[in-house]
Structure 1
Amino acid sequence: MSMGRRLFGEGTEHHRPRNAGVDSARVARRAAGTMRRLCAGLIILLASLPWRASFGCGATSDCLVTEGSYRIRLPTNASGRQLGAVIYFHGWQQAAEDVMSDASLAATAERLGIALVALNGEQKTWSFPSSPTHHRDDFEYVHAVVDDLVERFPIDRKRLLGAGFSQGASMIWYLACREPRLFAAFAPMSGAFWLPAPNQCAAPLPVLLHLHGLADKTVPVEGREVAPGIRQDSVRDSFSILGKTAVLHAAEPARLTGSEDLHLVCRRSTRRADGGVLELCLHAGGHFPIAGWVEHAWRAIPN
């Protein structure tokens, strides 16, 4: 036998144990069993956490729908339960990314144990019947988002709060007028109808709580002409259209979490048997959103 054949074990029995084939098969079986257990564990984990399981979107990446996109942040204590959510409409020339970077809004949603959903306006604005520009059918877009939300995530369709600021608040007003039961409650801040305003709104009366600053120059309480032929309606007129028979009475001012020093003057209608109620709260400040108003509106949702 040549030296080369001896060195590499060819033709020699002592370089290969007699049970080597058995050991190899045993190792292979063990490896296969370990892999099966790992896969089973992974499947169980993903099944128990469906909302975490790479839906391809979240707080830092867009969830795509046929009409556009949105972003979502889920609370850390979700633990498989059905979640409520605030559907937030950003202001003019903002985007969902800006909403998601709002630490106070994120903290509010986390404290309430609900999802924060930030919508993306086409061209960073909203298209409603009297808006200055029209880029898409935003009513269809909102429905596409809601349908996708409840299909993709553990979101309860009956526990949705629609909130918005400025131009996004105007979109909230038009949604409340057109579909008063689309959301369990509506929380517009610093924005109302534009002219020409709707002649009437659909029944029943929604749960709508509006916040506005008396020193707001961007969207004044009394409305203003933005450009020739383009005018914001007044908050007073908007309320008279939405709730023609709902009289607002002086009410105990709301105390907003995180803005306890903000003095509010509030008026509220009598809550109806079906839960509908209107509320208007004014403060001395200007044009800015307040995360505490979202929490106030969430707690006003009928049980």
Structure 2
Amino acid sequence: MIRTALSFSAVLLWASAAAAMGPSKPSDCHGETACQLGDRSYHVMEPEGWDGVTPLPVLLHFHGWARTGVNAQRSDRIGASTKRRGVLLVTPNGRRKTWDFWSPETGDVGFTNQVLRDVAKRYPVDAGRIYVSGYSYGSAMAWRYVCESGNHVAALLGIAGAFPSGETCPEAPREVRHVHGVSDTVMPFPDDGPGGQAVPLGLWRARMDCGAGQAAGDWQVVDFLKLSRTEWRNCASGQVVLDTHPGGHFIPHGWIGRQLDELLGRTPSYP
């Protein structure tokens, strides 16, 4: 509990400073040039047409196994989506190209808070619009991060990766959005209900005290993949959105872009 309180206080400190003062110095690292933090690093990519002054929403994205933050920047499903929507993309690099999300004692949560504080020194950050996403192992790391240090996070955007059953979380984001293929055999659809029952997003639904979910229809941005949405908006705190598709382990076309459009109050578009 003490560790969680300290990490949250530290995040409040950088967020308040960023909102009040903006960047303290121009960024000397961006794009594929990594920003160094001791023996670790991260990447940051500015959106198209940014005026250099307006506070930026942030998408903090954890890469998949055996990848780096540069892969997310180059992706037309991640980087291209943030560039077109005025969102600063921040992509930490995992040790040995992976993440330690298995327990609350992971050092990757503290590293991520360091990344966010460093970003706020370089860019004017919109502290009310911090979104955290990840793919595969990176999605499980995104879950771990918001579980341990997520009270300041506006939304978790999980893609094809989640916790095993039995986890509880001291913190939570204001909103959870997740997409998963029901035929995924790499990181199967999460069975995170009591006793390992197949309860979609049961961890977050319990954490936010949600009632029954409501089917919210199908949607698609490419003709070969249809996604079906279920929403839990009758929660005591926050809300939960789940998109499922019949496929396997991948990032669906347009999914990140649509989530950002909805969170930012924009008309959904593709790409």
TM-score over 0.5 for the alignment?
Answer: yes
Q: Which residue of 1 aligns with 2:226?
A: 263
| Greater mean alpha carbon deviation, residues 171-180 or residues 281-290 | 171-180
Alignment partners' CA distance in 1, 2:133 and 2:197: 16
Task: Tell me, yes or no, if the aligned pair for 2:190 and 2:200 is still in contact at 8 Å.
Answer: no
Q: Deviations over 1:140-195 (max 9, x none)?
A: 01100110111111222221110100001111112232233232101000011035
Q: Supply the AA of the counterpart residue of 1:65.
A: L
Structure 2: how far apart are the matches of 1:123 and 1:238?
31
Mapped pair 1:298 → 2:260: yes
Aligned to 1:213: 181
Who is 1:70 aligned against?
A: 42
SS at match of 2:49: coil
Q: Which residue of 2 aligns with 1:250?
A: 214
C-alpha distance in 2, partners of 1:235/1:138?
Answer: 29
* Deviations 1:237-285 (CA, angstroms, capped at 9, x unpaired): 57222221313523223635x43652112211125575x1111111011
Q: Which residue number corresponds to residue 180 of structure 1?
A: 150
1:152 to 104, 113, 122: 122
Q: Give runs of aligned pairs for residues 16-165 of structure 1, distance below 5 A.
A: 53=26, 55-66=27-38, 68-79=40-51, 80-130=53-103, 137-165=107-135
Q: Compute the displacement of 1:68 (Å).
A: 1.8
Aligned residues between the structures: 238
Structure 1 letter corresponding to 2:233: T
Q: Which amino acid aligns with 1:301?
A: L
Contact 1:207 1:301 in 2 (8 A): no
What 5-or-longer segments of structure 1 have no aligned partner?
Answer: 1-49, 224-232
Structure 2: which 5+ residue stretches go unaligned? Answer: 1-22, 266-271
Q: Which has the larger Rg? A: 1
Output the CA distance in 1 between the equivalents of 2:87 and 2:197.
Answer: 29
Once the two structures are aligned, what percentage of the paired residues are identical?
25
Q: 1:237 to 1:66 in 2, by over 3 A?
A: farther
Query: SS at the partner of 1:294?
Result: helix
CA distance in 2, matches of 1:82, 1:271: 31
- Give the distance between the partners of 2:67 and 2:103, measured in 1 at CA: 20
The alpha carbon displacement at 1:222 in A equals 5.0
TM-score, reference length from structure 1:
0.69
Q: Is the 8 A contact 1:125 1:167 kept in 2?
A: yes
Contact 2:184 2:249 in 1 (8 A): yes
The one-letter amino acid of 2:203's match is: I
Could you list the per-position Cα deviations for residues 105-141 of structure 1 after superposition, in whole angstroms to 9, with x for gaps in the alignment?
222112211111111111111112349xx9x601101
After TM superposition, where is structure 1 displaced by more than 6 Å over at least 4 residues in a row?
none
Distance change in 2, residues 1:270/1:204 (3 Å): same
Q: Is the 8 A contact 1:210 1:279 kept in 2?
A: yes
Higher relative contact order (CA 8 A, sep 6+): 2
- Tell me the C-alpha RMSD between the 2 structures: 3.0
Distance 2:79 2:197 in 1: 28
**d(CA) in 2 for partners of 1:153 and 1:140?**
20
1:12 is aligned to none
Give secondary structure in 2 for the equivalent of 1:243. helix
SS at match of 1:109: helix
